[in-house]
Amino acid sequence: MLEALIPREKIFFELFAKAAEKSVAACEAFETMLGDMQNLASHVRRIKSYEHEADEVTHRTVDTVHRTFVTPFDRDDIHRLAGRLDDVLDLVDSAAARMELYEIHEATPECRELAGVLTRAARLLPKAVNELERSRKNPRAVLDLCIEINRLENEGDAVAHRAIARLFHEEQDLRKLMKWKEIYEVLETAIDRCEDVANIIEGIVIEQG
C-alpha cells in the first residue's frame, strides 16, 4: 500500500536501501556470533531470517521492474544490482550455516578479521545506494564510496590469502583445514560481491554522466 504513494523511480532506491541494510544486519550478526559461539544455533537462525527478508526485497524489486514503464536506469543494471546485493547476504548465511554444520566451537583470529572487513564493506553499501540516487548532482560522493569498497576488497583478499596460507603451514588436521578453507573462501566471496555492487553503481554513475 505504501509503495503506491511513492514515485516509481524512488521505489527502486528504497528497495536497494532495504536490501543493503539487511546485508549490514546479517554481517553484524555474523560478527556477534563469532564472539558468542556457545549460542551458535540461535545466531544462525537470526542470520537466516535476514536472508529470507532480503529475498522478499529482491522479489519485490524484480516485480517492480516488470510493472514499471520508465526506470531510473537500465533494467539490466537494476537486476544485476539487486542480485549482487542479495548475493552478499546469501554468502553470509552460507558461512554461518557451514560453521553450524561443521560444529565449529571457536572462531579463528583470521575468521574474525575477514568478518570485520566484510562488515566494514557492507556498511558502505546503504550509503552508496543513497548517494546513487543523488549522483546526477554529486557523482563524486558515490564514486568515493565505491573506491573505498574496492580498497576493502583488496584488504579482504590479502587477509583470506594469508589465512589460507597459515592453514596449510600450521593445521595438521586435514578435515579442520578443509572446513576453515571453505569458510574463509565464502567470506572472501561475500566481500567480492560488495565490490561487485560498487562496480555496478560506478558503471551506472559513469553512464549517466
Q: Domain count for the chain, please give it.
A: 1
Q: Is residue 130 part of a domain?
A: yes
CATH code for the domain in which residue 105 is found: 1.20.58.220
CA dist 116 and 35 (Å) reads 12
Q: Is residue 3 part of a domain?
A: no
Mean pLDDT, rounded, for 107-113: 97
State residue 8's pLDDT score.
64
Could you report the per-residue pLDDT of 36-86, keeping only the tens digit for each? 999 999 999 999 999 999 999 999 999 999 888 888 889 999 999 999 999
Q: Is residue 1 part of a domain?
A: no
Looking at residue 22, its amino acid is: K
Q: Is residue 57 part of a domain?
A: yes
Determine the structural domain holding residue 148 and report its residue range: 8-208
Per-residue pLDDT band for 207 (boundaries 50, 70, 90) equals: confident
Tell me if residue 1 falls in helix, strand or coil: coil
Residue 43's nearest CA partner among 126, 108, 104, 114 is 104
Mean pLDDT, rounded, for 122-134: 96
| CA distances for 48 relative to 16, 103, 139, angstroms | 19, 17, 35
What is the pTM (predicted TM-score) of this model?
0.94
Residue 107 zone, left/alpha/beta (φ > 0; ψ -120 to 50; rest) = beta
Mean pLDDT, rounded, for 110-136: 97
Q: What is the percent of the chain with per-residue pLDDT over 90, rounded to a whole number?
A: 87
Task: Assess contact for 36 and 145: CB atoms under 8 A.
Answer: no
The burial of 44, by beta-carbon neighbours within 10 Å (0-12 exposed, 13-18 middle, 19 or more buried), is given as buried
Does the structure show a pLDDT above 50 at 2? no
Does the structure show a pLDDT above 90 at 7? no
CA dist 45 and 120 (Å) reads 22
CA dist 52 and 66 (Å) reads 22
Could you report the per-residue pLDDT of 155-182, keeping only the tens digit for each? 999 999 999 999 999 999 999 999 999 9
| CA distances for 151 relative to 121, 154, 156, 191, 195, angstroms | 9, 5, 9, 11, 9
Q: Is residue 2 part of a domain?
A: no
Does the structure show a pLDDT above 60 at 192? yes
The burial of 108, by beta-carbon neighbours within 10 Å (0-12 exposed, 13-18 middle, 19 or more buried), is given as middle
Q: Interior CA angle at 134 toward 132 and 140, to 5°? A: 75
Q: How many residues does the chain have?
A: 209
Q: Is residue 47 part of a domain?
A: yes
| CA distances for 172 relative to 130, 163, 167, 177, angstroms | 47, 15, 9, 8
